[in-house]
Amino acid sequence: MAPKLFTIVTSTRPGRKGPIMAQWFHDYATAHGGFENEIVDLADMGLPFFNEPNHPRMQKYEHEHTKKWSAKIKEADAFVFMMPEYNSFPPAEFTNALDYLFYEWNYKPAAIFSYGGVSAGTRSAQIARLHLASMRMTPLPEGINVPNFAAHISDEGKFVANELIEASAKTVLDELKIWNEGLQVIRKK
């Protein structure tokens, strides 16, 4: 069975562009092969600001939203986080969703697809990597970073990539495959 790659949409605001970007990456990853792909949208997970009384390492979850989120993340072998930049920072929904769990993230590789203005969301991406590492994920140094992303959205509302973006996506998928194979050894222990 192919390993599972989740493309996680981390913005949840009305009018967000994250799902458009995620759809492009999902389609590219599906054509690339090697993973079973799924888009996971934080807007569908209904996670309020962290409200579990116990530390996530205890896995004594009280709320249905946490149990659902835990079961979902357990399924995955690797992640690509769709990362906007809000005031040079990852969106609060992203850090909130990470904090809900711990072991479910452990020893899984994670890449970042960032998008923004001139900075291409790279400031946000670098900060997000620190948080991923704290959850014992392996954040890839490689990423997909799209500057001036609005210019890549067509009148039909689709993301239109260029050669550079496609090359970055290929590198990310190839690296995720390598890291997943290595980290699976640890996950099986």
Ligand X SMILES: Cc1cc2nc3c(=O)[nH]c(=O)nc-3n(C[C@H](O)[C@H](O)[C@H](O)COP(=O)(O)O)c2cc1C
- Rule CB under 6 A: which residues touch ligand X? 11, 13, 16-18, 84-88, 116-117, 119, 121
Give whichever of 88 and 106 is closer to ligand X, judged by the CB atom.
Answer: 88
Provide the β-strand partners of residue 109.
138
Q: How far is the CB of 96 from ligand X (least distance, A)?
A: 15
Q: What are phi and psi of 20, to 5 degrees?
A: -65, -45
Closest CA to 52 of 125, 102, 17, 123: 102
Give whichever of 154 and 185 is closer to ligand X, judged by the CB atom.
Answer: 154
**Tally: H helices and E strands in the chain:** 6, 6
Give whichever of 22 and 111 is closer to ligand X, judged by the CB atom.
Answer: 22
Give whichever of 17 and 108 is closer to ligand X, judged by the CB atom.
Answer: 17
Q: Which residues contact 102 (CB under 8 A, 6 or more apart)?
A: 55, 56, 57, 135, 136
Q: How far is the CB of 86 from ligand X (least distance, A)?
A: 4
Provide the β-strand partners of residue 138.
109
Using Cβ positions, the residue closest to ligand X within the complex turns out to be: 116
Euclidean distance between CA atoms 189 and 111, whole angstroms: 24
Beta carbons within 10 angstroms of residue 162's beta carbon: 9
Q: How far is the CB of 183 from ligand X (least distance, A)?
A: 28
Euclidean distance between CA atoms 124 and 2, whole angstroms: 30
Q: How far is the CB of 153 from ligand X (least distance, A)?
A: 9
Q: How far is the CB of 119 from ligand X (least distance, A)?
A: 5
Gyration radius of the chain over CA positions: 16
